[in-house]
Amino acid sequence: MKTTAFILLATLALATLLPPAADACTGITLKAKDGTNIVARTIEWGGSDLNSQYVVVPRGYAQQSLTPDGGKGMAFTAQYGYVGLAVEQKEFVAEGLNEKGLSAGLFYFPHYGKYEDFNPSDRASSIADLQLVSWILGSCQNVEEVKQAIANVHVVGVDPRASTVHWRFTDPSGRQLVLEIIDGKTIFYENTLGVLTNSPDFQWQLTNLNNYVNLYPGTAPAQQLGSLSLASFGAGSGFLGIPGDVTPPSRFVRAAFYQATTPQAPTATETVAQCFHILNNFDIPIGIETKAGETPADIPSATQWTSATDMANRVIYYRTMHDSNIRCIDLKTIDFSRVKYLARPLDASKETPFTVIKIK
Protein backbone atom coordinates (compact mmCIF):
# COMPACT_ATOMS: atom_id res chain seq x y z
CA MET A 1 0.00 0.00 0.00
CA LYS A 2 2.84 2.41 0.80
CA THR A 3 4.27 1.80 -2.70
CA THR A 4 0.94 2.66 -4.30
CA ALA A 5 0.68 5.76 -2.12
CA PHE A 6 4.18 6.83 -3.18
CA ILE A 7 3.18 6.59 -6.87
CA LEU A 8 0.16 8.74 -6.13
CA LEU A 9 2.19 11.32 -4.23
CA ALA A 10 4.65 11.58 -7.11
CA THR A 11 1.81 12.02 -9.60
CA LEU A 12 0.10 14.71 -7.58
CA ALA A 13 3.34 16.50 -6.77
CA LEU A 14 3.95 16.78 -10.53
CA ALA A 15 0.49 18.26 -10.90
CA THR A 16 1.41 21.16 -8.63
CA LEU A 17 4.24 22.17 -10.97
CA LEU A 18 1.97 22.61 -13.98
CA PRO A 19 -0.17 25.65 -14.84
CA PRO A 20 -3.59 25.62 -13.12
CA ALA A 21 -5.32 25.88 -16.51
CA ALA A 22 -3.93 22.46 -17.43
CA ASP A 23 -6.52 20.98 -15.10
CA ALA A 24 -9.71 21.55 -17.06
CA CYS A 25 -13.00 19.70 -17.40
CA THR A 26 -16.28 20.70 -19.01
CA GLY A 27 -19.55 18.89 -18.33
CA ILE A 28 -22.97 19.21 -20.01
CA THR A 29 -26.34 17.46 -19.82
CA LEU A 30 -28.85 16.87 -22.62
CA LYS A 31 -32.28 15.24 -22.63
CA ALA A 32 -33.66 13.36 -25.63
CA LYS A 33 -37.29 13.65 -26.72
CA ASP A 34 -37.79 10.07 -25.57
CA GLY A 35 -36.91 11.22 -22.02
CA THR A 36 -33.40 9.78 -21.85
CA ASN A 37 -30.89 11.93 -19.96
CA ILE A 38 -27.28 12.03 -21.18
CA VAL A 39 -24.36 13.48 -19.23
CA ALA A 40 -21.13 14.22 -21.09
CA ARG A 41 -17.78 15.72 -20.21
CA THR A 42 -14.19 16.34 -21.23
CA ILE A 43 -11.07 15.75 -19.18
CA GLU A 44 -7.98 17.85 -19.77
CA TRP A 45 -4.40 17.56 -18.63
CA GLY A 46 -1.78 19.51 -20.52
CA GLY A 47 1.33 18.19 -18.76
CA SER A 48 1.60 14.58 -19.89
CA ASP A 49 -0.32 11.57 -21.15
CA LEU A 50 -2.65 10.41 -18.37
CA ASN A 51 -2.42 6.82 -19.66
CA SER A 52 -6.16 6.49 -19.15
CA GLN A 53 -7.81 3.10 -18.79
CA TYR A 54 -11.30 1.70 -18.60
CA VAL A 55 -11.98 -0.54 -15.65
CA VAL A 56 -14.71 -3.13 -15.19
CA VAL A 57 -15.42 -3.72 -11.51
CA PRO A 58 -17.52 -6.72 -10.43
CA ARG A 59 -19.81 -6.97 -7.44
CA GLY A 60 -17.84 -8.00 -4.38
CA TYR A 61 -14.57 -6.37 -5.50
CA ALA A 62 -12.70 -5.07 -2.42
CA GLN A 63 -10.57 -1.92 -2.37
CA GLN A 64 -8.67 0.13 0.20
CA SER A 65 -8.49 3.89 0.31
CA LEU A 66 -5.16 5.69 0.45
CA THR A 67 -4.35 8.21 3.18
CA PRO A 68 -1.93 11.16 3.44
CA ASP A 69 0.43 9.20 5.70
CA GLY A 70 0.79 6.42 3.13
CA GLY A 71 -1.20 3.97 5.21
CA LYS A 72 -4.56 2.29 4.84
CA GLY A 73 -7.82 4.21 4.91
CA MET A 74 -11.40 3.03 4.54
CA ALA A 75 -11.94 -0.46 3.17
CA PHE A 76 -14.86 -0.74 0.75
CA THR A 77 -16.44 -3.51 -1.29
CA ALA A 78 -18.54 -2.99 -4.41
CA GLN A 79 -22.19 -3.86 -3.83
CA TYR A 80 -22.92 -2.90 -7.45
CA GLY A 81 -20.79 -3.51 -10.52
CA TYR A 82 -19.59 -0.56 -12.56
CA VAL A 83 -17.45 0.61 -15.47
CA GLY A 84 -15.10 3.53 -14.97
CA LEU A 85 -12.66 5.67 -16.95
CA ALA A 86 -9.52 6.00 -14.84
CA VAL A 87 -6.52 8.32 -15.02
CA GLU A 88 -2.88 7.58 -14.14
CA GLN A 89 -3.77 4.54 -12.03
CA LYS A 90 -6.66 2.13 -12.34
CA GLU A 91 -7.82 3.05 -8.82
CA PHE A 92 -8.46 6.67 -9.79
CA VAL A 93 -11.79 6.59 -11.62
CA ALA A 94 -12.59 10.07 -12.96
CA GLU A 95 -15.91 9.15 -14.62
CA GLY A 96 -18.10 6.07 -14.40
CA LEU A 97 -21.49 4.36 -14.52
CA ASN A 98 -22.82 1.55 -12.36
CA GLU A 99 -25.32 -1.19 -13.12
CA LYS A 100 -28.12 0.75 -11.38
CA GLY A 101 -27.67 3.71 -13.73
CA LEU A 102 -25.85 6.05 -11.34
CA SER A 103 -23.25 8.27 -13.02
CA ALA A 104 -20.40 9.83 -11.05
CA GLY A 105 -17.41 11.93 -12.02
CA LEU A 106 -14.80 14.26 -10.57
CA PHE A 107 -13.75 17.67 -11.91
CA TYR A 108 -10.70 19.69 -10.85
CA PHE A 109 -11.51 22.43 -8.33
CA PRO A 110 -8.25 24.28 -7.57
CA HIS A 111 -7.88 27.05 -4.97
CA TYR A 112 -11.53 27.03 -3.85
CA GLY A 113 -12.05 23.64 -2.26
CA LYS A 114 -10.60 22.58 1.09
CA TYR A 115 -11.04 19.13 2.59
CA GLU A 116 -10.98 18.44 6.30
CA ASP A 117 -7.58 17.56 7.73
CA PHE A 118 -6.80 13.87 7.96
CA ASN A 119 -7.22 12.46 11.46
CA PRO A 120 -5.52 9.07 11.90
CA SER A 121 -8.19 8.09 14.43
CA ASP A 122 -10.77 8.39 11.58
CA ARG A 123 -8.72 6.16 9.26
CA ALA A 124 -11.45 3.50 8.93
CA SER A 125 -13.96 6.06 7.61
CA SER A 126 -11.57 8.19 5.52
CA ILE A 127 -11.84 8.03 1.72
CA ALA A 128 -9.33 9.63 -0.67
CA ASP A 129 -10.77 12.26 -3.01
CA LEU A 130 -9.53 10.45 -6.13
CA GLN A 131 -11.15 7.19 -4.98
CA LEU A 132 -14.52 8.62 -4.00
CA VAL A 133 -16.06 7.99 -7.44
CA SER A 134 -15.14 4.30 -7.21
CA TRP A 135 -16.62 3.99 -3.73
CA ILE A 136 -19.85 5.79 -4.67
CA LEU A 137 -20.40 3.76 -7.84
CA GLY A 138 -20.01 0.53 -5.90
CA SER A 139 -22.25 1.65 -3.03
CA CYS A 140 -25.16 3.80 -4.28
CA GLN A 141 -28.17 3.44 -6.58
CA ASN A 142 -29.22 7.10 -6.84
CA VAL A 143 -28.22 10.62 -5.85
CA GLU A 144 -30.22 10.55 -2.61
CA GLU A 145 -28.15 7.57 -1.46
CA VAL A 146 -25.02 9.53 -2.44
CA LYS A 147 -25.95 12.31 -0.01
CA GLN A 148 -26.54 9.79 2.78
CA ALA A 149 -23.27 7.98 2.09
CA ILE A 150 -21.13 11.15 2.06
CA ALA A 151 -22.51 12.13 5.48
CA ASN A 152 -20.84 9.08 7.01
CA VAL A 153 -17.28 9.47 5.73
CA HIS A 154 -14.32 11.82 5.85
CA VAL A 155 -13.12 12.88 2.40
CA VAL A 156 -9.39 13.64 2.47
CA GLY A 157 -6.74 14.67 -0.02
CA VAL A 158 -3.78 12.31 -0.21
CA ASP A 159 -1.37 15.17 -0.95
CA PRO A 160 -2.20 18.64 0.46
CA ARG A 161 -0.10 20.26 -2.31
CA ALA A 162 -2.38 18.94 -5.04
CA SER A 163 -5.58 20.44 -6.42
CA THR A 164 -8.87 19.62 -4.78
CA VAL A 165 -11.76 18.31 -6.89
CA HIS A 166 -15.53 18.57 -6.89
CA TRP A 167 -17.99 15.95 -8.10
CA ARG A 168 -21.06 15.47 -10.30
CA PHE A 169 -23.60 12.71 -9.58
CA THR A 170 -26.59 11.94 -11.84
CA ASP A 171 -29.14 9.14 -11.81
CA PRO A 172 -31.55 7.92 -14.53
CA SER A 173 -34.32 10.24 -13.30
CA GLY A 174 -32.19 13.16 -14.48
CA ARG A 175 -31.60 14.50 -10.99
CA GLN A 176 -28.06 15.82 -10.72
CA LEU A 177 -26.03 16.91 -7.71
CA VAL A 178 -22.76 18.79 -7.47
CA LEU A 179 -20.67 18.14 -4.35
CA GLU A 180 -18.10 20.68 -3.19
CA ILE A 181 -16.07 20.56 0.02
CA ILE A 182 -15.15 24.05 1.19
CA ASP A 183 -13.44 24.76 4.53
CA GLY A 184 -13.95 21.14 5.45
CA LYS A 185 -17.73 21.28 4.99
CA THR A 186 -19.65 19.30 2.37
CA ILE A 187 -22.06 21.30 0.22
CA PHE A 188 -24.52 19.72 -2.22
CA TYR A 189 -26.13 21.73 -5.02
CA GLU A 190 -29.08 20.60 -7.13
CA ASN A 191 -27.71 21.11 -10.63
CA THR A 192 -30.86 21.76 -12.66
CA LEU A 193 -28.77 23.52 -15.33
CA GLY A 194 -26.62 20.45 -15.91
CA VAL A 195 -23.35 22.29 -16.61
CA LEU A 196 -20.13 22.00 -14.62
CA THR A 197 -16.54 23.15 -15.12
CA ASN A 198 -13.93 23.99 -12.48
CA SER A 199 -13.25 26.98 -10.22
CA PRO A 200 -14.71 29.19 -8.81
CA ASP A 201 -17.49 27.48 -6.89
CA PHE A 202 -20.67 26.29 -8.59
CA GLN A 203 -22.90 29.00 -7.13
CA TRP A 204 -20.54 31.71 -8.40
CA GLN A 205 -20.63 30.20 -11.89
CA LEU A 206 -24.43 30.37 -11.94
CA THR A 207 -24.38 34.00 -10.79
CA ASN A 208 -21.81 34.88 -13.46
CA LEU A 209 -24.27 33.84 -16.20
CA ASN A 210 -26.12 37.10 -15.49
CA ASN A 211 -23.23 38.96 -17.12
CA TYR A 212 -24.34 37.44 -20.44
CA VAL A 213 -28.04 38.28 -20.33
CA ASN A 214 -27.57 40.05 -23.69
CA LEU A 215 -26.81 36.83 -25.58
CA TYR A 216 -29.44 35.08 -27.67
CA PRO A 217 -29.51 32.52 -30.52
CA GLY A 218 -29.80 33.69 -34.10
CA THR A 219 -28.63 36.80 -35.85
CA ALA A 220 -28.77 40.36 -34.56
CA PRO A 221 -31.14 42.61 -36.53
CA ALA A 222 -29.77 45.41 -38.70
CA GLN A 223 -29.93 48.87 -37.19
CA GLN A 224 -29.22 52.49 -38.05
CA LEU A 225 -26.40 54.36 -36.31
CA GLY A 226 -27.03 57.95 -37.32
CA SER A 227 -26.55 57.98 -41.08
CA LEU A 228 -24.70 54.64 -41.02
CA SER A 229 -26.49 51.32 -41.60
CA LEU A 230 -25.14 48.42 -39.54
CA ALA A 231 -25.73 44.75 -40.29
CA SER A 232 -24.29 41.46 -39.10
CA PHE A 233 -21.31 40.02 -40.99
CA GLY A 234 -22.89 36.57 -40.79
CA ALA A 235 -25.12 34.20 -38.88
CA GLY A 236 -24.93 33.79 -35.12
CA SER A 237 -24.25 37.39 -34.16
CA GLY A 238 -26.74 37.08 -31.31
CA PHE A 239 -23.91 35.29 -29.49
CA LEU A 240 -21.40 38.06 -30.25
CA GLY A 241 -19.42 38.58 -27.05
CA ILE A 242 -19.66 35.02 -25.73
CA PRO A 243 -16.24 34.30 -24.13
CA GLY A 244 -13.97 32.10 -26.21
CA ASP A 245 -11.00 31.51 -23.90
CA VAL A 246 -10.40 28.25 -22.01
CA THR A 247 -10.76 29.49 -18.44
CA PRO A 248 -13.39 27.65 -16.36
CA PRO A 249 -15.83 30.61 -16.11
CA SER A 250 -15.71 31.15 -19.88
CA ARG A 251 -16.19 27.46 -20.61
CA PHE A 252 -19.12 27.37 -18.18
CA VAL A 253 -20.83 30.24 -20.04
CA ARG A 254 -20.24 28.69 -23.47
CA ALA A 255 -21.42 25.27 -22.30
CA ALA A 256 -24.58 26.73 -20.75
CA PHE A 257 -25.58 28.63 -23.91
CA TYR A 258 -24.63 25.88 -26.37
CA GLN A 259 -26.51 23.32 -24.31
CA ALA A 260 -29.58 25.52 -23.94
CA THR A 261 -29.86 26.30 -27.65
CA THR A 262 -29.13 22.90 -29.20
CA PRO A 263 -32.16 21.21 -30.82
CA GLN A 264 -33.60 18.34 -28.80
CA ALA A 265 -32.76 15.08 -30.54
CA PRO A 266 -35.37 12.29 -30.75
CA THR A 267 -33.37 9.38 -29.35
CA ALA A 268 -30.65 8.58 -26.84
CA THR A 269 -28.01 7.73 -29.46
CA GLU A 270 -28.68 10.91 -31.43
CA THR A 271 -28.40 12.87 -28.18
CA VAL A 272 -25.07 11.19 -27.40
CA ALA A 273 -23.81 12.26 -30.83
CA GLN A 274 -25.02 15.81 -30.17
CA CYS A 275 -23.09 15.87 -26.87
CA PHE A 276 -19.87 14.99 -28.66
CA HIS A 277 -20.51 17.70 -31.28
CA ILE A 278 -21.05 20.34 -28.58
CA LEU A 279 -17.94 19.25 -26.68
CA ASN A 280 -15.86 19.59 -29.86
CA ASN A 281 -15.94 23.28 -28.99
CA PHE A 282 -14.10 22.62 -25.73
CA ASP A 283 -11.07 20.74 -27.04
CA ILE A 284 -7.96 22.50 -25.75
CA PRO A 285 -5.00 22.31 -28.16
CA ILE A 286 -1.52 21.74 -26.84
CA GLY A 287 0.46 24.97 -26.66
CA ILE A 288 -2.24 27.42 -25.57
CA GLU A 289 -1.33 26.98 -21.89
CA THR A 290 2.45 26.91 -22.36
CA LYS A 291 4.51 30.00 -21.64
CA ALA A 292 6.56 31.47 -24.48
CA GLY A 293 9.93 29.74 -24.67
CA GLU A 294 8.74 26.59 -22.91
CA THR A 295 8.26 23.30 -24.73
CA PRO A 296 4.71 21.89 -24.66
CA ALA A 297 4.11 18.28 -23.67
CA ASP A 298 4.50 15.73 -26.46
CA ILE A 299 0.84 14.74 -26.66
CA PRO A 300 -1.78 15.45 -29.37
CA SER A 301 -4.16 17.47 -27.19
CA ALA A 302 -4.72 18.74 -23.68
CA THR A 303 -8.23 17.29 -23.96
CA GLN A 304 -7.26 13.69 -23.36
CA TRP A 305 -10.72 12.15 -23.62
CA THR A 306 -14.39 12.98 -23.91
CA SER A 307 -17.19 10.78 -22.61
CA ALA A 308 -20.98 10.59 -22.71
CA THR A 309 -23.13 8.47 -20.41
CA ASP A 310 -26.60 7.09 -21.11
CA MET A 311 -27.85 6.21 -17.64
CA ALA A 312 -31.23 4.79 -18.71
CA ASN A 313 -29.73 2.34 -21.21
CA ARG A 314 -26.57 1.75 -19.13
CA VAL A 315 -24.04 2.66 -21.84
CA ILE A 316 -20.87 4.74 -21.46
CA TYR A 317 -19.25 6.20 -24.59
CA TYR A 318 -15.79 7.72 -25.07
CA ARG A 319 -13.28 9.02 -27.59
CA THR A 320 -9.69 10.09 -27.01
CA MET A 321 -7.01 12.50 -28.16
CA HIS A 322 -5.45 9.59 -30.07
CA ASP A 323 -8.62 8.29 -31.71
CA SER A 324 -11.73 10.36 -32.49
CA ASN A 325 -13.83 7.28 -33.18
CA ILE A 326 -16.54 6.93 -30.54
CA ARG A 327 -16.43 3.64 -28.64
CA CYS A 328 -18.86 2.38 -26.03
CA ILE A 329 -19.31 -0.19 -23.27
CA ASP A 330 -22.83 -1.56 -22.72
CA LEU A 331 -23.19 -2.49 -19.06
CA LYS A 332 -26.28 -4.59 -19.84
CA THR A 333 -24.03 -7.11 -21.59
CA ILE A 334 -21.86 -7.60 -18.48
CA ASP A 335 -22.69 -10.13 -15.77
CA PHE A 336 -21.26 -8.28 -12.77
CA SER A 337 -21.72 -11.34 -10.56
CA ARG A 338 -19.27 -13.33 -12.67
CA VAL A 339 -17.01 -10.94 -14.57
CA LYS A 340 -13.42 -10.58 -13.35
CA TYR A 341 -11.89 -7.21 -12.52
CA LEU A 342 -10.51 -5.75 -15.73
CA ALA A 343 -8.36 -2.72 -16.57
CA ARG A 344 -7.43 -1.91 -20.17
CA PRO A 345 -6.01 1.20 -21.93
CA LEU A 346 -8.62 3.40 -23.61
CA ASP A 347 -6.55 3.14 -26.80
CA ALA A 348 -5.00 -0.03 -28.20
CA SER A 349 -2.58 2.24 -30.07
CA LYS A 350 -1.48 5.81 -29.44
CA GLU A 351 -1.21 6.62 -33.13
CA THR A 352 -4.14 8.36 -34.75
CA PRO A 353 -5.87 5.98 -37.19
CA PHE A 354 -6.66 7.20 -40.68
CA THR A 355 -9.02 5.54 -43.13
CA VAL A 356 -7.78 5.59 -46.73
CA ILE A 357 -10.49 5.95 -49.37
CA LYS A 358 -9.40 4.11 -52.47
CA ILE A 359 -10.56 5.54 -55.76
CA LYS A 360 -10.70 3.15 -58.72
Catalytically annotated residues: 25
Contact 99/82 with Cβ under 8 angstroms? yes
Of the candidates 144, 131, 137, 152, the one whose C-alpha atom is nearest the C-alpha of residue 67 is 131
Q: Residue 219: how many CB atoms within 10 A of its CB?
A: 16
Q: What is the 3-state secondary structure (H, E, C) of 135-196?
A: HHHHHCCCHHHHHHHHCCCEEECCCCCCCCEEEEEECCCCCEEEEEEECCEEEEEECCCCCE
Long-range contacts of 317-324 (CB under 8 A, 24+ apart): 317/272, 317/276, 318/54, 318/85, 318/346, 319/276, 320/52, 320/346, 320/347, 322/347, 322/349, 322/350, 322/351, 322/352, 323/347, 323/349, 323/352, 323/353, 324/352
Sign of the CA dihedral running 295, 298, 301, 304:
negative
**How many helices and strands (H and E) does the chain possess?**
6, 19
Question: Collapsing DSSP states into helix, strand and coil, what is residue 284?
Answer: coil
Contact 316/83 with Cβ under 8 angstroms? yes
Q: How far apart are CA 15 and CA 35, in angstroms?
A: 40
Side chain identity at residue 241, one-letter code = G
Of the candidates 300, 313, 283, 288, the one whose C-alpha atom is nearest the C-alpha of residue 350 is 300
Torsion of CA 231, 235, 240, 244, to 10 degrees: -150
Q: How far apart are CA 314 and CA 331, in angstroms?
A: 5
Contact 337/59 with Cβ under 8 angstroms? yes
